[in-house]
A and B are shown apart, each in its own frame.
Chain A
Amino acid sequence: GNSVTQMEGPVTLSEEAFLTINCTYTATGYPSLFWYVQYPGEGLQLLLKATKADDKGSNKGFEATYRKETTSFHLEKGSVQVSDSAVYFCALSDLFSGGYNKLIFGAGTRLAVHP
């Protein structure tokens, strides 16, 4: 079945460090891929997305490229800030029989950035 695997956290970095959070997926179709972010005490919000192979999603300095050959969608940022501290979720959305789509999440990776 469809699934998402992302690296376990927590990831602890100093401000201005480079960030990579790995994400790989298993899907039977051609899913869209997403990164969502959850700040403390809040709901999830979309960070970026990519809907087909080789697409690059980007937002707020974060980037991720949809790699079909490696079934990956790794999240990167060149210089993290304290305000980036949050839990990051990789997710895929695929079409199922019955014509509905379902968003499947990875386990989440907590990022802590220190000054």
Chain B
Amino acid sequence: DTAVSQTPKYLVTQMGNDKSIKCEQNLGHDTMYWYKQDSKKFLKIMFSYNNKELIINETVPNRFSPKSPDKAHLNLHINSLELGDSAVYFCASSPRKGATNEKLFFGSGTQLSVL
């Protein structure tokens, strides 16, 4: 069973559209994250939720809205897509917030291409 699964794996869409990426983890973890990886492979945190509560919100345009219906799911909705949103988006989870010595478990990524 995949520990952190995100769908879709590939997403190709037009500028101005609205799209969602879904993420689920079956590890029983409390904390989930969204990271964005640009074309140069640079990874930057976007959001983190702990037990459905938003705890990290980096400087991200408000066109990006995360939603966590329960602690096993963290979805990312993007409104009015722009060319600069093209990237690979990774979902990740960790057992709990505040555990600096624990690793993150990553999904396999969603490659978003905005045309």
Contact = CB atoms under 8 A, between A and B. Distances in A.
Asked whether A and B interact, the reply is yes
Contact of B103 (A31, A38, A46): A46
B108 A43 contact: yes
Interface of A: 31-32, 34, 38, 41-46, 49, 51, 87, 89, 93-95, 98-105, 107-108, 110
A107 to B, nearest CB: 5
Interface of B: 4, 31, 33, 40-45, 48, 50, 55-56, 90, 92, 97-101, 103-104, 106-109
At the interface, is chain A mostly helix, strand, loop or mixed? strand
A101 B33 CA distance: 11
Given A103-B33, A105-B42, 5 more contacts: A41-B108, A44-B104, A101-B98, A105-B44, A108-B40
Contacts of B33: 103
B41 A110 contact: yes
Given A100-B56, A110-B41, A45 B106 contact: yes
22 contacts: A41-B108, A43-B4, A44-B90, A44-B92, A44-B104, A45-B106, A46-B104, A49-B101, A49-B103, A51-B100, A87-B41, A94-B100, A98-B55, A99-B98, A100-B50, A102-B48, A103-B33, A103-B45, A104-B45, A107-B41, A107-B42, A108-B41
A91 B86 CA distance: 24
